[in-house]
Amino acid sequence: MTDLAAEYSRGLAYGEFLEAHASEEDRDRWQAVHDRVELIDRHQAVLGSFVREMKVLVLAGAWCGDCVNQCPVFERFSEESPVISVRYLDRDANPELTESLSVNGGHRVPVVVFLSEDDFPCGIFGDRTLAKYRAMAADIDASLVAATGDDDRTLLEQATDEWLDEFERMQWMMRTSGRLRAVHGD
C-alpha cells in the first residue's frame, strides 16, 4: 500500500516542479494557461469559504497537454485559498506511485489525490474532466454525446468549474467529518 502522506511530503511546489521537470517551452505553455485561468466571483466565494486544510498531491508530467490545461487551475485555487496546499510529483520519476495511481489500466496524468489535514486519503481524481471527455467523444462521433445545452464556455472555463466542484466536494467531506469536527470543536 502506498503511503500517500509520505508521497505528498516529497512533492514539489508548482514552480519547483516546473523548474525540475519542465523545459523552457513547457514552462511557457503552463504559464500561458495560468495567465488565462480566471477565477470569477463565485469561484472566489467558494474558495474563500474553505476552512479545513487540504493537502493535494498531483501526479503530473510537465510535457503532458492535459496537465498543462489543468494543473494551472490548481495553482490558481491554492493562490486564492490559504488552506489549499498543492504538491506535484513527476509521473516518470515515480514509477511505483504511478503504478498505484493508474487510471483505467494506464499511467495517465494528472491524477489528483486529496488528503485531510491529518493525512487521511479523501479522494482520487484523474485524468480529465467531464467536459474534456465530452469534447473528445464528440470528435469521435457527435451522436455519442447527449445534448448538454448551449455551453459557450471554453474548455478551460468548464475545467475550472469542474475542478472547483471536486475541490469543494473534498472540502465539504472534511468540513462535515465527525472526526475532524471533534478535533476542531465545531
Instruction: Tell me how crowded residue 102 is: count the other CB atoms within 10 A of its CB.
Output: 12
Q: What would the mean pLDDT of 40-45 be, rounded to a whole number? A: 98
- Mean pLDDT, the chain, as a whole number? 94
- The domain that holds 142 is classified in CATH as 3.40.30.10
Q: In whole angstroms, how large is the CA radius of gyration of the chain?
A: 17
Contacts of 45 (CB under 8 A, 6+ apart): none
Q: What is the reported pLDDT for 146?
A: 64
Q: What is the mean pLDDT of residues 91-113?
A: 96
Residue 38, pLDDT score: 97
Write out the residue range of the structural domain in which residue 29 sits: 4-184
Interatomic CA distance for residues 132 and 138, integer angstroms: 10
pLDDT tens digits for range 52-80: 999 999 999 999 999 999 999 999 999 99
Whether the CB-CB separation of 107 and 98 falls below 8 Å is answered with yes
Tell me what pLDDT residue 78 has.
98
Given this model, what pLDDT does residue 83 score?
98
Give, for 85, the enclosing helix (H) or strand (E): strand 84-90
pTM tops 0.75, yes or no: yes
Amino acid at 168: E
The pair phi, psi for residue 7, each rounded to 5°, is: -65, -40
Distances (CA, A) of 99 to 1, 92, 95, 102: 11, 10, 6, 5
User: Do the beta carbons of residue 94 and residue 107 sit within 8 Å?
Assistant: no
pLDDT at 136: 87
Please write the tens of the pLDDT for every residue from 126-155: 989 988 888 888 888 877 766 555 578 899
For residue 127, is the peptide bond before it cis, meaning its omega torsion is within 30 degrees of 0? yes
pLDDT at residue 20, as a whole number:
98
Rounded CA separation 117/53 (Å) = 5
How far apart are alpha carbons 186 and 183 in whole angstroms?
8
Number of domains in the chain: 1
